[in-house]
Amino acid sequence: MFGINGGELLVLLVVAAVVVGPERLPSYAEQLAGWVRRLRDLARDTKERVGAELGDPDVDWAALDPRRYDPRRIVRDALLDDPPARTPSRPAVPRPGRAAPAAAAATTAAFAAPPVAARAPAPFDDEAT
């Protein structure tokens, strides 16, 4: 504990008993016992309060591991996973020479580019450069 073995502790207790004397020894022993009781009660109350504040002692520590949020690991896991199926952002425009189903043709017509004659010229600013 403090570098004191059993024999040295016994010698210290005997010296303390001789120095204190037999008249005051019982009162000091009572005080020491009271301090030990208060310290034990304080430790017990602290343990109960910590248990009440923290709640359930069965915490999943693996879920709280900060190494899960390492950017290198996130990128590695994302690259090793199967890529998600890509969905087109707009319907595919049928190629010339191929016939499209009627429903797909109606949807494609809504997203198709306007005819060339209806297109406005591309904006051009000769002073931009």
Q: Residue 109's pLDDT band (boundaries 50, 70, 90)?
A: low
| Residue 88 located in a structural domain | no
Q: Per the confidence metrics, is the pTM higher than 0.75? A: no
- Token readout for 51 is 């248990």
Residue 93, amino acid: V
Domain range spanning residue 16? 6-54
| Residue 48 located in a structural domain | yes
Q: How far apart are CA 48 and CA 34, in angstroms?
A: 21
Give pLDDT, residue 125.
Answer: 75
Domain count, the chain: 1
| Residue 13 located in a structural domain | yes
| Residue 126 located in a structural domain | no
| Residue 81 located in a structural domain | no
- % of the chain beyond a pLDDT of 90: 20
| Residue 84 located in a structural domain | no
Please choose, from the candidates 93, 87, 119, the residue with its C-alpha nearest in 3D space to the C-alpha of residue 107.
93
| Residue 102 located in a structural domain | no
- Helix count (H) and strand count (E) of the chain? 4, 0
Higher-pLDDT residue of 118 and 3 is 3
| Residue 108 located in a structural domain | no
